[in-house]
Structures are given as structure tokens and as C-alpha cells.
Amino acid sequence: MLLAASTQRTIGLVILAIVFIGGLVYIYFNIRSARDEIGSEIELAANRRPYMDDDQLETKRLDLALGTSLVLLTITAITLPLYWLGEPGRHEGRDIDTDRISTNRGEEIYVEGAQCVACHGSEGSGGAVSTAITTEDGAFLAQVSWKAPALNTLLSRFTENEVIHTLNVGRNGVMPAWGGGGGGPLTDQQLEEIVYYIRSIQIDEDQINIEVADGVRDGVETKLRAESGADWANELRAVNEAKDATARDVTLASREIFGFDCTEQTDDPRCAADNDAAQALLAAETQHADALNSAVASWLFDVDAVRQRAMDAALAANSALDDEGNEEDWRFATLELLSTPGEIEGQDLYLEYGEILFTNTAAAGTYSCARCHTYGWSFDATGPYSLELNGTDDPILEDYTQGGGYFGPNLRGGTTLEQFESAASHADFIAKGQTMGATYGRGGSGGNGQMPGFGPNTDSSPVGPTIGTGDEFSYPALLTDEQIDAIVAFERNL
Ligand code: HEC
Ligand code: HEC
């Protein structure tokens, strides 16, 4: 578009220069060839009234008429080309206006019209929706809170056409269909306007890295709090159990006594105990914050040491790997070792790190794989207590299988080893995702691009009225190569 604008401008300037110089040349020759006026000797035709004679005419009147014409002619001669020259700018201006108007309309649909905000959070930061889960025969199981992914990184993982597809068909009934294509209420133009708005709220790479790292930290913390044998962990667990027990009493009371609520019944001993237990947990957490922090840091340090060991082992097997230009080969030789059971000491720890990334809870689970590959993860099925609170002790929890399949396929039992013969091609798939209509691996079907890409994304066919041919948009990666590798090793051992 810019290129076209500048070509038109150049042509315009050249023509203007030719006209201007041509004009000067014309005036020059005109003056030179001019001869003195000889006056009209023509006789008046018999049927014509004599007009004013020269003496009358050649006065200020004529000067005025000629002068006015000259001024008007000059104005026309200058403004027309100028108008033409301004045309590309006007095009650009119109595009910017249309962009702004579409974005504003999209925002209105997001916030008011379709209420995306209610589930996906303000500015697409992620949220949740309360929904009922049922057995396979449709019997009610529980009312749960289901994570709705953040949309402020959406265009890093999907192309705009893939997003339009999702909006048309909805997602698994948890999110209704929005576009007319799937029986929803919105027009194609409105879907495009939503995409314009989503474009305007994408966050940058630094923010993404911070969110992912925070999620990893939380994952490691949760793990250590549950598993560490250190004194601080034992104490935190004891205080936490006491808190859970008191919270449970309050919940049971609120189920049995209509209107029971600790903001009202502040004097009730159950509420007082619950409050004390919550305070005690907070105090214990503050007291042990340093111990916890350093435990998390040293856990991550140990993971890095395992990876380092694998890099060394790969290099020992092939000393050319650290030559310049071989970075990728070294990375994938390392990954192959880390994916193979028994090759590297400490592999288990590395796979645990992979699982933490696979289940990253940051931004409503947006960066996780479990939200699409593990049924139940999106409604915290690992936390039996939250389901119980909703009135069921159903064995649905026993079905919880990491990577067992949900919206995305089952990844267990060596299926990924079969699909991707090398860890390298597996990692490449995670970075790029499944592209609309394209096949992958050994037998991956050409679906609708619903497996997101976690590496950087360049969208070369964006949608909307202001998109010209060749326009493309680029978005940063959601996961680093190092993070993708850990997930790949984890998956290849599921
Ligand atoms: C009733 C709650 C709800 C509303 C309203 C809603 N969504 Fe969703 N949306 C969800 C949930 C939940 C998911 C994830 C479903 C799952 O885990 O299978 C989702 C998934 C998506 C996805 C797929 C993203 C990904 O990374 O997988 C997109 C895109 C999306 N929604 C966009 C929108 C837009 C745009 C609107 C408004 C027009 C909207 N949603 C309204 C609940 C909602
Ligand atoms: C928005 C949902 C979604 C998320 C999030 C997601 N996937 Fe997928 N994944 C899919 C879908 C859908 C497919 C199947 C694509 C197809 O067949 O066209 C798939 C396919 C795959 C496959 C190929 C499996 C096979 O045997 O064909 C692998 C491996 C995979 N995903 C890994 C991951 C990893 C790793 C992550 C996290 C970094 C992840 N997925 C996140 C939806 C998702």
C-alpha cells in the first residue's frame, strides 16, 4: 500500500514538473512569436447589431474579466494536481478511520453485544464461566467453573481465519457459536470487527514471558508445597489442612441453613474458626516465604542442570555440535536424549518440569496444553474438593488422565512417538501448530487449524476491509524453544 502510494506520488510529481516546464516553454515561445495587434478590419454582418467598439471594450472591464479568468484558471490548474497528489494520503486516512471504527465496534460487541468480556475477562485477559458438566448420558454431575482462555495472546497461536472458524462454530458447547455459519447471532462483518478489536489488545513478548514464568513458578510452588519433606512444607501443609477443614464446616452450614453466610453470621463460631484458620495460613505463608522462594529457585536450577548434562552428553557423542551454525542440531540432539528414558540422569525431574508447563495455570490456562488435551483440567478436576463443594462425590475424578484427550487427541501410550518419528519434528509441530487444511506428522489430518502454534506467528492472510494484498502481521512466541523442548520430552514419555 505504501509502495503504491509513493509510486503514484512520484508519477504525479514527474507529470507536474513536465506540465510546469512545458508551460514555461510555451509562454516563452508565445511571447517571442507575438506580433503587434493589427486590429479588426472585418465588416459587420448585415443582421448583427454593432457591439461596443474597441474603445469602449478595452477598458477596466476587459481587464477585470480577463484577470478573473486567469485567477480561476490558475486556481484550477494548481488545485487539481494537488488534489490528485493527496489521493494516496486520503486512502491511508480512510483506512485508518475504518480501522478505528471497526476496532471500536468490535470492542462494543466484545463488551456489550456478545458479552465476551463476561467469560474472557476485560481486554481479553482470561476468565471463567460457570457451567454444568454431565455424564455421557447427559445426567447432571456438577456445576463447575470452567477456564476461558485469554484472548490477548490469541493471534500468537491462531491465524485470523482460524479465529473466525472458532467464532463460527463455538467450542465444545462450553462456548456457544457466534457466527451465522454455526447458527450464532453475529454477521461475518461483526466477526471481523471482533478480530480488529482482538488485534488491538495483543500483549507483547515481555509480558508473555512474565506470565508464563509466573505460571511456572506457581506450578513449582504447588508441587513443592504438596511434596517437599522440608520442615516449612510440613508446617504449611498442616496449617492448610486445618484451614480446609474449617472452610468445609462453613460450606456445609451454608448448604444446610438457608441464608448462612459469614459476612452476616460474624459471631458464629464456625465463621470465627474459619477466619482464624485463614489468618494462620497467611501468617505461616509469610513466615516461610523465603524458604519457599529459595526452594523454587533451587528446583528450577536443578532442572537446568539436567538439561545442561544432556547438552554435554550430546556434545560428547558428536563434537561438531558446538561449531557455529550447529545450534539447532545441538538443541535437537539434546532433546532426543532428554526424551529417551534412562539416557540422562535426572530425566524424571525434567519431565516434571515439562508437566508443569503442560498444565501452566497462568492467564486462565491459556499457555497450557492440558486445557485441550486433558478432560477435566479446565474445571480443576485435580482439585476434588471444589467438585465436592458443588454437591458431588462422583468418580469423574478417577477419569482424570493427563494428556488423555479432550478437544485435542489423546497423547498417551506412545501415540506422539508414532506421529512424530523424531523429537525435532514433534517440537516443530508444537511451535507451528496445525495449519488450517494442512496435514502433519505421519498421519495427522488436515483439520481447521485448531491446534495452536506456540512459536512466533506470522499471519499472511489477515481479514477485514483495510487489508491489502501482501499485508501480514507478526506476533511473538508464547513459549521459548527451551520450554517447548521440556513439553515435548514430557509428551514423548506419557
Ligand atoms: C459463556 C462464556 C463465553 C462467552 C460469552 C464467550 N466465550 Fe469464548 N470461550 C469460552 C470458553 C470456556 C472457551 C474454552 C472452551 C474449552 O476449554 O473447550 C472459549 C474459547 C474461545 C476461543 C478459543 C481460544 C483458544 O485459545 O482456544 C476464542 C477465540 C473465543 N472463545 C472467543 C470468544 C469471543 C470473541 C467471544 C465473544 C463474541 C466469546 N469467546 C464469548 C467461553 C466463552
Ligand atoms: C486450543 C486447544 C489446544 C491446545 C491449547 C493445545 N492443543 Fe494440541 N491439539 C489440538 C487439536 C485440535 C489437535 C488435533 C489437530 C488436528 O488433528 O488437526 C492437537 C494435536 C496435537 C498433537 C498431535 C497429536 C497426534 O497424535 O496427532 C500434539 C503432539 C499436540 N497437540 C501437543 C500439544 C501441546 C504440547 C500443547 C501445549 C503446548 C497443545 N497441544 C495445546 C488442540 C490443542
Residue 162's closest CA among 371, 460, 490? 460
Evaluate whether residue 233 is within a structural domain. yes
Pocket of ligand 1 (CB under 6 A): 114-116, 118-120, 129, 146, 148-149, 151, 154, 157, 163, 166-167, 171-172, 174-175, 178, 194, 371, 378, 407, 452
Q: Is the same domain home to 156 and 103?
A: yes
pLDDT, average across residues 426-434: 97
> Whose CA is closest to atom 36 on ligand 1?
116
Query: Distance between CA atoms of 138 and 183, rounded to whole angstroms?
Result: 22
| Strands in 112-255 per DSSP E | 127-134, 140-148
Name the domain boundary from 254, 271, 287: 287
For residue 385, what pLDDT is reported? 56
Say how many domains are in the chain.
Answer: 2
Q: Is 137 a member of any domain? A: yes
Residue 38 or 377, more confident:
377
Is 195 contained in some domain? yes
Q: Note the ligand closest to the C-alpha atom of 442.
A: 2
Average pLDDT of 218-245? Answer: 95
Domain boundary among 262, 287, 312: 287
Q: What is the mean pLDDT of residues 428-444?
A: 91
Return the bridge partners of 444, or none: 440
Residue 405 has pLDDT above 80, yes or no: yes
**Interval 265-279: pLDDT, tens:** 888 899 999 999 999
Question: Which tens digits make up the pLDDT trace of 213-230?
Answer: 999 999 999 999 999 999
Regarding whether 233 and 214 lie in a shared domain, the answer is yes
| CA 142/CA 260 separation, integer angstroms | 21
Q: Which residue has cell 463443594?
A: 389
pLDDT reading at 395 higher than 80 = no
pLDDT at position 37: 57
Residue 263 pLDDT exceeds 50: yes
Question: In this predicted model, what pLDDT tens digit does every residue of 147-156 receive, in sequence order?
Answer: 999 999 999 9
- The reply to whether 223 and 278 lie within a common domain is yes
Task: Supply 405's cell numbers.
Answer: 484427550
Same domain, 154 and 222: no
Measured from the alpha carbon of residue 431, the closest ligand is 2
- In terms of domains, do 155 and 132 share one? yes
pLDDT tens digit string along 441-486?
Answer: 988 877 889 999 999 999 999 999 999 999 999 999 999 999 999 9
- Which of the four pLDDT bands, split at 50, 70 and 90, describes residue 249? confident
Instruction: Read off the pLDDT band of 356 (50, 70, 90).
Output: very high
Q: Is 325 contained in some domain?
A: no
Name the residue of 122, 175, 373 to mutate for ligand 1: max ligand atoms within 8 A of Cβ.
175
pLDDT, greater one: 473 or 55:
473
Strand partners for 475: 457
Q: What is the mean pLDDT of the chain?
A: 91
pTM of the model: 0.85
Asked whether 466 and 95 are in contact (CB, 8 A), the reply is yes
Residues 184 and 115 in one domain: yes
356-360 average pLDDT score: 98
177 plus 147 within the same structural domain: yes
Confidence label for 2 from pLDDT (cuts 50, 70 and 90): very low
Task: Answer yes or no: do 252 and 191 share one domain.
Answer: no
142 shares its domain with 178: yes
Q: What is the mean pLDDT of residues 247-260?
A: 84
* Beta strands in 280-376, from DSSP E residues, in sequence order: none
pLDDT at 392 over 70: no
Which of 171, 434, 454 to probe ligand 1 with, by most ligand atoms within 8 A of CB?
Answer: 171
| 150 inside domain | yes
Per-residue pLDDT at 5: 55
Banded model confidence at residue 9, pLDDT cuts 50, 70, 90: confident
Question: Going by C-beta distance under 8 Å and a sequence separation of 6 or more, which residues neighbour residue 365?
Answer: 126, 147, 149, 371, 377, 378
Residue 256 confidence (pLDDT): 83
Pocket residue to mutate for ligand 1, from 108, 112, 115, 120, most atoms within 8 A of Cβ: 120
Q: Which of 266, 287, 308 is the last residue of a domain?
A: 287
Tell me the CA–centroid distance for residue 160 and ligand 2, in Å.
Answer: 18
Distance 403 CA to ligand 2 centre (A): 10
One domain, residues 105 and 190: yes
236 part of a folded domain: yes
388 pLDDT band (50/70/90 cuts)? low
| Helix, strand, coil distribution of the chain in percent, nearest 5 | 60, 5, 35
Give the H or E element holding residue 458. Answer: strand 457-459
Task: Kindly tell me if the per-residue pLDDT of 1 is higher than 70.
Answer: no
Nearest CA to ligand 2 atom 32: 430
- The Cα 188–Cα 75 span in angstroms is 46
Verify that 188 and 207 share a domain, yes or no: no
- Find how far residue 211's CA is from the centre of its chain: 13
> Residue 308 has what pLDDT?
98
Domain range enclosing 152 = 91-200
Q: What is the pLDDT of residue 49?
A: 78
Q: What percent of the chain has pLDDT over 90?
A: 70
102: CATH:
1.10.760
Indicate whether 396 belongs to any domain: no
pLDDT digits (tens, 9 = 90+) for 159-200: 999 999 999 999 988 999 999 888 899 999 999 999 999 999
C-alpha 450 – ligand 2 centre gap (Å): 8
457-459 and 140-148: which strand pairing?
unpaired
- Whether residue 270 is contained in a domain is answered as yes
Same domain, 242 and 170: no
